[in-house]
């Protein structure tokens, strides 16, 4: 069983922190839809089309820049080519595109989960991030989404902005919770090199928040959202019970997914299950529109690389990772050096290791990347892989 990810590479403007693939030209959307349908058709009668598809995720970029009739054409092509038995159909949207009729159109299409990039209700922060919407538009979109009849939706929040105080974050969190959303994805702002923030940082015009302050922000986000009744089920994700994101959870569990559109990634296990391939569709809209669907990169992942990745993804979730799964599925055995480290970290309250299940505590989640890196690099190269 697998998922499909469709990348819609259009945005109104470049958010200052974003390094996803997108263009801000708006004349090529019809042409893109045609090219996408051609790419979808290329998968007809292949082993990809024989697989049962459980989730479809339309992300970007800004998928809500496409009209309902464009989305309908895309979805019809997906239905024609693939074997769908959908549990979840998600569409990402921006607040400034949300209208009642648009939401009704999405529902009639079968979308059952919306993911909206609110990021903040603070006008200054929205401007700093160069978001295309205002705080008023965010409020209106949340009201519309809440009244729309969508049972499940996600809203994105960004914390850890340079200069952002805990008070300001607290106000933002309260604003989000006032709408009682079923799911919140909360991301710490990162300064990526090829972005406006990256350039400001290079020129000495931006000082990112310190690690200590970012950890305080993380604590505040985690405490406030869990106290409101949400489960902190992944480092960046909070959900009311039963409202977890199925598509993303499947990424973390190493399920197959096929990426369509320029800049989309795919991940697929080989038949023998001993390796997997990850590839990236060339992030080049012009080539894509000319019918060139070449991959920019393809990487064969060996079993031990997959094991390390699964260890990392699993530890970022509240389910953790079982050493039994690592052994059976990935032939990866946790060695004595790693066990010593696990023992040490569990004594300091950063993780638990119970009946073969490794899980990070909230303290551990704060430094998840460092713990995961330590754990992986402690394994001796001559140990069985």
Interface residues with ligand SF4 (CB under 6 A) are 11, 14-15, 18, 20, 22, 60-62, 94, 117
How distant, in Å, are the alpha carbons of 170, 180, 223, 322, 324 from that of 219? 11, 20, 6, 26, 31
| Token couple for 341 | 């480290």
Taking the least distance from each CB to ligand SF4, the nearer of 95 and 314 is 95
Q: Token pair 């045609």 is at which residue?
A: 34
Taking the least distance from each CB to ligand SF4, the nearer of 15 and 221 is 15
- Minimum distance of ligand SF4 from residue 151's CB (angstroms): 24
Taking the least distance from each CB to ligand SF4, the nearer of 14 and 280 is 14
- Minimum distance of ligand SF4 from residue 64's CB (angstroms): 10
Q: What is the 3-state secondary structure (H, E, C) of 38-81?
A: HHHHHCCCCHHHHCEEEEEEEEECCHHHCCHHHHHHHHHHHHHH
What whole-number distance in Å separates Cα of residue 57 and Cα of residue 59?
Answer: 6
**Angle at alpha carbon of residue 5, lines to 4 and 7, rounded to 5°:** 150
- Minimum distance of ligand SF4 from residue 197's CB (angstroms): 12
Taking the least distance from each CB to ligand SF4, the nearer of 282 and 385 is 282
Taking the least distance from each CB to ligand SF4, the nearer of 20 and 304 is 20
- Minimum distance of ligand SF4 from residue 84's CB (angstroms): 26
Taking the least distance from each CB to ligand SF4, the nearer of 58 and 77 is 58
**Angle at alpha carbon of residue 107, lines to 103 and 110, rounded to 5°:** 145
- Minimum distance of ligand SF4 from residue 15's CB (angstroms): 3
What whole-number distance in Å separates Cα of residue 346 and Cα of residue 366?
Answer: 15
Is the link from the previous residue into 61 a cis peptide, with omega within 30 of 0?
yes
Per DSSP (E only), the strands in 180-294 are 183-188, 231-234, 237-239, 256-260, 265-269, 276-281
Taking the least distance from each CB to ligand SF4, the nearer of 22 and 153 is 22
- Minimum distance of ligand SF4 from residue 120's CB (angstroms): 12
Nearest alpha-carbon partner for 245 in 89, 71, 366: 89
- Minimum distance of ligand SF4 from residue 132's CB (angstroms): 7
- Minimum distance of ligand SF4 from residue 11's CB (angstroms): 3
Taking the least distance from each CB to ligand SF4, the nearer of 8 and 371 is 8
Q: Token pair 């197959």 is at which residue?
A: 256
User: Do 1 and 51 form a contact (C-beta atoms < 8 A)?
Assistant: yes
What whole-number distance in Å separates Cα of residue 74 and Cα of residue 350?
Answer: 45
The DSSP bridge partners found for residue 55 are: 3, 88
Taking the least distance from each CB to ligand SF4, the nearer of 119 and 338 is 119
The DSSP bridge partners found for residue 156 are: 185
User: Could you tell me which residues come within 8 angstroms of residue 47 by beta carbon, excluding any fewer than 6 positions away?
Assistant: none
Helix, strand or coil for residue 303?
helix
How distant, in Å, are the alpha carbons of 196, 266, 269, 309 from that of 300? 33, 12, 10, 13
Taking the least distance from each CB to ligand SF4, the nearer of 22 and 332 is 22
- Minimum distance of ligand SF4 from residue 78's CB (angstroms): 21
- Minimum distance of ligand SF4 from residue 125's CB (angstroms): 14
């Amino acid at each position: 069983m697998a998922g499909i990810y469709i990348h819609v590479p259009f945005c109104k403007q470049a958010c200052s922190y974003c390094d996803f693939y997108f263009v801000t030209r708006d004349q090529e959307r019809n042409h893109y839809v045609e090219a996408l349908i051609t790419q979808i058709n290329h998968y007809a009668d292949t082993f990809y089309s024989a697989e049962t598809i459980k989730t479809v995720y339309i992300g970007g970029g800004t998928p809500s820049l496409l009209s309902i009739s464009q989305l309908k054409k895309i979805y019809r092509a997906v239905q024609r080519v693939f074997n769908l038995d959908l549990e979840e159909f998600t569409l990402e949207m921006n607040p400034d595109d949300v209208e009642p009729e648009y939401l009704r159109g999405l529902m009639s299409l079968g979308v059952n989960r919306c993911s909206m990039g609110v990021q903040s209700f603070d006008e200054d922060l929205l401007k700093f991030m160069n978001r295309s919407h205002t705080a008023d538009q965010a409020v209106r979109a949340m009201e519309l989404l809440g009244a729309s009849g969508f049972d499940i939706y996600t809203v994105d929040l960004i914390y850890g902005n340079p200069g952002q105080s805990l008070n300001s974050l607290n106000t933002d969190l309260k604003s989000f919770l006032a709408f009682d959303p079923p799911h919140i994805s909360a991301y710490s702002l990162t300064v990526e090199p090829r972005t406006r923030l990256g350039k400001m940082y290079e020129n000495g015009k931006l000082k990112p928040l310190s690690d200590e302050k970012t950890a305080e922000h993380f604590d505040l986000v985690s405490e406030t959202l869990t106290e409101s009744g949400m489960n902190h089920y992944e480092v960046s994700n909070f959900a009311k019970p039963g409202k977890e994101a199925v598509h993303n959870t499947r990424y973390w569990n190493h399920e197959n997914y096929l990426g369509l559109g320029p800049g989309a990634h795919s991940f697929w296990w080989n038949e023998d299950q001993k390796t997997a391939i990850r590839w990236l569709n060339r992030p080049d809209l012009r080539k894509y529109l000319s019918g060139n669907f070449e991959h920019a990169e393809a990487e064969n992942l060996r079993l031990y690389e997959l094991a390390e990745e699964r260890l990392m993804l699993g530890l970022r979730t509240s389910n953790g990772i079982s050493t039994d799964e690592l052994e059976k599925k990935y032939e990866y055995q946790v060695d004595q050096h790693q066990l010593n480290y696990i023992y040490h970290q569990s004594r300091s309250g950063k993780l638990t290791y119970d009946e073969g299940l490794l899980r990070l505590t909230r303290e551990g989640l704060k430094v998840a990347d460092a713990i995961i890196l330590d754990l992986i690099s402690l394994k001796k190269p001559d140990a069985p892989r």
